[in-house]
């Protein structure tokens, strides 16, 4: 009886000791893995097929612009999982996004390459605007969602008549300059991407305050914190849609639309008249040159602008137009597509400016003068540097500018 009880006692102690050992072992393993040893990257390639996935179903060996993303840090895994799998937008929008990318990547990718910016940054434009000329509540606009001050800092013209943030190629070039400035500061593409969202100064302050040089170690605002993870999610969506259970047809980029270019180095006082000169329509000009904000183009400095219209006006460009005028749509006024057959246009057209001078008489208002000359009051103010709160004085000489062929 004694031996039987002793045996039972020893068996119970073995179980307790075994459980204690296992608890201690896994506790030590967890501490070493998460808090002591640095994150490491897997060796599985980032390829254009289904990804092998980890236990939390995140693609292995993720990288941004060749910079590897740590894979065994729990916080990083959580942030990746949140962007990859908590977003229900993927399946419902993927077909639209693929179609947009096939149209617009041929415009964006060559500029990135020419500027020495990694191709992965095209996904930044996807997450910023879904490749559409939208406007944010904060006033950021265009494919690259540039705010006015940043746009002007990178050589885009933004005023009440012209907003080059809506020119896909010019805004891409401006975005490249911003990204390269950030990379020159941080020597790191991941931090450059974060700086696109937060600003170079904001990232600099965060790095200095938190004494780190790593995006993944920073405590940031919610938007910037998720920014790079979201880019990685979209990169995976485009390069391996099967990872999200999405079937994608063969990937074929569209050819860029062949365009006729018209160089303009003087003012356009009436866009409809200009359209007649080039045998097109005002709507075609506005659709394909969304940077033209008004129906006039004051140009006192005689800058050279390029206005583009498609060479083939018979083709269906409705999907391009929807992206160019923004996802919310735009004016369809004067929507005829212009001449249909055997249209021959010169690559450039010479335009000259004709100026008429008017001396303001007593009690004469600016609106009366504008109506008399069939121009807009705001154009009169622009041409003569008259602010919105001021009026012309008696005897003042005003310039009225017309565009003539």
Give the H/E segment covering residue 307.
strand 305-310
The neighbouring-strand residues paired with 261 are: 308
Is 151 in the same domain as 13? no
pLDDT at position 119: 96
Give me 129's structure tokens.
Answer: 């605007």
Residue 189 sits in a domain whose CATH number is 1.10.530.10
Residue 33 has pLDDT above 70, yes or no: no
What radius of gyration do the chain's Cα atoms show?
30
pLDDT at position 210: 92
pLDDT at position 92: 63
Residue 391 sits in a domain whose CATH number is 3.10.350.10
Residue 292 has pLDDT above 50, yes or no: yes
pLDDT at position 401: 75
Residue 347 has pLDDT above 70, yes or no: no
Side-chain half-sphere exposure of 91, counting CA atoms within 13 A: 9
Last residue of a domain, one of 244, 276, 306: 244
Q: Does a structural domain hold residue 61?
A: no
363-377: per-residue pLDDT in tens? 788 887 877 776 777
Q: Residue range 67-87: average pLDDT?
A: 79
Is 95 in the same domain as 21? no
pLDDT at position 327: 56
Residue 241 has pLDDT above 70, yes or no: yes
Q: Residue range 220-232: average pLDDT?
A: 87
pLDDT at position 8: 52
User: Which residues fall within 8 angstroms of residue 400, CB to CB, at 6 or more apart?
Assistant: 355, 356, 357, 358, 369, 373, 375, 380, 383
Is 223 in the same domain as 108? yes
Closest CA to 214 of 78, 69, 82, 32: 69
pLDDT at position 17: 64
Structural domain containing residue 10: 1-37
Q: Residue range 191-205: average pLDDT?
A: 93
pLDDT at position 32: 53
Q: Does a structural domain hold residue 290?
A: no
Q: Does a structural domain hold residue 300?
A: no
Is 29 in the same domain as 155? no
Q: How many domains does the chain have?
A: 3
Q: CA 84 to CA 289: how far, in whole Å?
A: 36
Q: Residue range 263-282: average pLDDT?
A: 92
Is 93 in the same domain as 22? no
Is 110 in the same domain as 14? no
Give the H/E segment covering residue 263.
strand 259-264
Q: Residue range 147-166: average pLDDT?
A: 94
Residue with the larger pLDDT of the pair 219 and 307: 307
Q: CA 338 to CA 341: how far, in whole Å?
A: 10
Residue 274 has pLDDT above 90, yes or no: yes
pLDDT at position 405: 40
Q: Does a structural domain hold residue 268?
A: no
pLDDT at position 353: 56
Residue with the larger pLDDT of the pair 21 and 121: 121
The answer to whether 367 and 404 have CB atoms below 8 angstroms apart is no
Most confidently modeled range among 159-173, 239-253, 306-320, 344-358: 159-173
Is 96 in the same domain as 194? yes
Q: Does a structural domain hold residue 164?
A: yes
Torsion-angle region of 245 (φ positive above 0: left; ψ -120 to 50: alpha; else: beta): left
The answer to whether 335 and 321 have CB atoms below 8 angstroms apart is no
Q: Does a structural domain hold residue 157?
A: yes
Assign 324 a pLDDT band (cuts: 50, 70, 90): very high
Last residue of a domain, one of 213, 244, 275: 244
Is 25 in the same domain as 115? no
Is 212 in the same domain as 156? yes
Residue with the larger pLDDT of the pair 206 and 16: 206
Is 133 in the same domain as 235? yes
Is 100 in the same domain as 238? yes
Q: Does a structural domain hold residue 278?
A: no
User: Which residues fall within 8 angstroms of residue 118, CB to CB, at 6 or more apart?
Assistant: 65, 66, 112, 189
Last residue of a domain, one of 244, 272, 305: 244
Residue 120 has pLDDT above 90, yes or no: yes
Q: Does a structural domain hold residue 383?
A: yes
Is 126 in the same domain as 239? yes
């Amino acid at each position: 009886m004694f031996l039987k009880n002793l045996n039972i006692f020893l068996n119970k102690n073995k179980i307790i000791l075994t459980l204690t050992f296992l608890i201690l072992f896994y506790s030590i393993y967890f501490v070493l893995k998460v808090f002591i040893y640095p994150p490491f990257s897997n060796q599985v390639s980032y390829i254009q097929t289904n990804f092998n996935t980890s236990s939390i179903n995140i693609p292995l060996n993720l990288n941004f612009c060749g910079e590897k993303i740590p894979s065994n840090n729990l916080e990083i895994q959580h942030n990746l999982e949140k962007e990859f799998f908590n977003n229900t937008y993927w399946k419902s929008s993927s077909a639209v996004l693929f179609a947009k990318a096939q149209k617009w990547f041929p415009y964006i990718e060559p500029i990135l390459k020419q500027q020495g910016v990694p191709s992965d940054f095209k996904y930044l434009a996807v997450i910023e605007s879904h490749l559409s000329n939208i406007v944010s509540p904060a006033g950021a606009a265009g494919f690259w969602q540039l705010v006015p001050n940043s746009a002007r800092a990178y050589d885009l013209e933004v005023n009440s008549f012209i907003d080059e943030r809506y020119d896909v190629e010019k805004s891409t070039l401006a975005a490249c300059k911003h990204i390269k400035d950030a990379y020159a500061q941080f020597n790191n593409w991941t931090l450059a991407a974060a700086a696109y969202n937060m600003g170079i100064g904001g990232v600099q302050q965060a790095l200095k305050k938190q004494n780190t040089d790593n995006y993944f170690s920073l405590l940031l605002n919610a938007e910037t914190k998720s920014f790079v993870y979201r880019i990685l999610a979209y990169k995976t969506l485009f390069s391996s849609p099967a990872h999200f259970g999405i079937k994608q047809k063969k990937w074929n980029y569209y050819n860029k639309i062949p365009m006729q270019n018209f160089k303009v180095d003087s003012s356009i006082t009436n866009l409809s008249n200009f359209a007649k000169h080039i045998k097109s329509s005002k709507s075609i000009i506005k659709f394909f040159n969304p940077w033209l904000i008004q129906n006039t183009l004051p140009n006192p400095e005689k800058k050279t602008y390029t206005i583009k219209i498609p060479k083939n006006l018979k083709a269906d460009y409705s999907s391009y137009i929807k992206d160019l005028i923004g996802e919310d749509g735009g004016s369809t006024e004067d929507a005829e597509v212009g001449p249909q057959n055997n249209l021959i246009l010169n690559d450039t057209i010479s335009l000259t400016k004709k100026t008429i001078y008017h001396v303001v008489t007593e009690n004469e208002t600016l609106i009366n003068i504008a109506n008399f000359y069939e121009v807009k009051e705001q154009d009169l103010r622009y041409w003569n540097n008259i602010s919105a709160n001021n009026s012309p004085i008696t005897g003042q000489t005003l310039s009225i500018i017309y565009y003539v062929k």
